[in-house]
Structure 1
Amino acid sequence: MTLYYSLVFMLLVAEMALFMLLIVPIPFTIRRKMFTFISESPLVAKLQYGMKITFIFILILFIDSVNRVYRVQVELAESKDMGASRSAVLGHERMEVQARKFYSQRNMYLCGFTLFLSLILNRTYTLILDVLRLEEKVKKYEGDPSAGGKQGEKLENAGNMGEIAKLRKELAAKERDLETLKKQSEGLSREYGNLSDTYEATQKDGTPKKDK
């Protein structure tokens, strides 16, 4: 197994361990603190961004492995169509093609399962976050004094980070437009003041005043 496929296998094992950690029964308070830390930690955010880029490369490896499997299948089909007069040579070639088929299929399954498990992890994380928010609301309705607080508010906002970031970008764009309009308004005000002074000078003297 090459180095990059070994790294993909290590990533698959890490995903399996993380998935087991997510589904293990954990008390509500500990689970809430853990997910609050995950949603707020800048290190975790950078790690998630890096993982997105990594999964793009894994997707490329998956497409390449599928292409290799297809080419090996074509070679096997062509070897079957050849005559039996070269059976000894074809036997050796067929073993080599079968070995390449095995490795290509292994790489395809490895990359495919890694990508599929990443989607499951993302969906599982979102569902657990929703469940925690609902449990927080239920505890508030039941009058539990331990519910709410800063961690509850942070957990409530954790699922809307993407929407909040989008709104912040729109707000920044609106602020830039507002600053541009302010500058234009100031320029127009200065021009209007200059024109007003010139007009007043013309009305008093009959001709515009010359600068000394």
Structure 2
Amino acid sequence: MSLQWTLIATFLYAEIIFVLLLVLPVASPERWQKFFKSRFLKSLSSQASVYFLVLLAILILFFLDAIREMKKYSSSEVEAAHSHLDAEMQVNMRLFRAQRNFYISGFALFLSLVIRRLVLLISTQATLLAESKAAMRQAKSATTAARSLMAQTQTSTAQNTTNEAHDREVTELKEKLAKAEKELQTEKKDKEAVKQQAEAVSAEYDRLLEEHSKLQAKVEVGDGEKKKDA
């Protein structure tokens, strides 16, 4: 294997390992979010899109080159079938290498897109979880404040039942309590919406993992058949 294809194959293996780390429950979305926002990655974020496009362009070039080699040696294989056995074996070997390079570059290109999508999904999930926790804290704080106001109101009512000013205060406190309960209901609805979004993100993870497993199985079957043919 030449140097450039060795580098692409190494890059493919690194992508597979990184995808497994993202998909498997190795770390929580919050930890991945901290890693993505680390100083090193933050320094690269301004030019990340440029690097990604350059990487895609390189992989596409190698992918097209592999397709060209496959077509070239596929036509040469027909010609070599009527020539010497050694020439036919040489053509078959080069065709096998071209097919191998086609799968390597193709899956490297595909996993680059998968990794980009997974990173975006994990970042979105981490943001939704953070918003959900903040909403729950606000709801609990509103409930505690409402209960405290009610306790103060009951004590004050028992001591000043004939005081009109106190009655007005009770009315105001009840209104505040009703408002706090409405806010609590709103926060609960927001939490349910965040939960549904997080479940949708998890479903998207599962779908991408299943697609990756199917494609990897196809590659292994294809490589096995080529080795048998060789």
Equivalent-residue separation in structure 2 for 1:28 and 1:53 (angstroms): 28
Equivalent-residue separation in structure 1 for 2:16 and 2:99 (angstroms): 21
Q: Go from structure 1 to structure 2 and tell me whether the alpha carbon gap of 1:24 and 1:64 turns closer, same or farther (over 3 Å shift).
A: same
Equivalent-residue separation in structure 2 for 1:117 and 1:65 (angstroms): 17
| 1:61 to 2:55 alignment | no
Structure 1 residue ranges without an equivalent (≥5): 83-88, 146-212
Structure 2 residue ranges without an equivalent (≥5): 141-230
Equivalent-residue separation in structure 2 for 1:31 and 1:18 (angstroms): 12
Displacement of 1:51: 4.3
Report what 1:102 is aligned to.
96
**Counterpart code for 2:102:** M
Report what 2:31 is aligned to.
30
Equivalent-residue separation in structure 2 for 1:34 and 1:52 (angstroms): 22
Q: Is the 8 A contact 2:29 2:125 kept in 1?
A: no
| 1:8 to 2:8 alignment | yes
Equivalent-residue separation in structure 2 for 1:32 and 1:65 (angstroms): 37
Displacement of 1:91: 1.5
Equivalent-residue separation in structure 2 for 1:72 and 1:40 (angstroms): 43
**Counterpart code for 1:137:** E
Q: Go from structure 1 to structure 2 and tell me whether the alpha carbon gap of 1:27 and 1:116 turns closer, same or farther (over 3 Å shift).
A: closer
Displacement of 1:31: 2.9
TM-score, length-scaled by structure 1: 0.57
Aligned length: 138
Q: Is the 8 A contact 2:59 2:105 kept in 1?
A: yes
Matches within 5 A, 1:62-77: 62-77=63-78
Q: Is the 8 A contact 1:69 1:101 kept in 2?
A: yes
**Counterpart code for 2:64:** I
Identity of aligned residues (%): 25
Report what 1:129 is aligned to.
123
Equivalent-residue separation in structure 2 for 1:14 and 1:112 (angstroms): 15
Matches within 5 A, 1:1-212: 1-25=1-25, 26-37=27-38, 41-43=42-44, 45-46=46-47, 49-80=50-81, 82=82, 89-143=83-137
DSSP-derived class of the 1:142 partner: helix
Displacement of 1:79: 3.8
**Counterpart code for 1:120:** V
**Any idea what the Cα deviations from partners look like across 1:87-138, whole Å, max 9, x if unmatched?**
xx52121111101101111111111110011011111111111211221221
Q: Go from structure 1 to structure 2 and tell me whether the alpha carbon gap of 1:38 and 1:61 turns closer, same or farther (over 3 Å shift).
A: farther
Equivalent-residue separation in structure 2 for 1:137 and 1:114 (angstroms): 35
DSSP-derived class of the 2:137 partner: coil
Displacement of 1:54: 2.9
TM-score, length-scaled by structure 2: 0.53
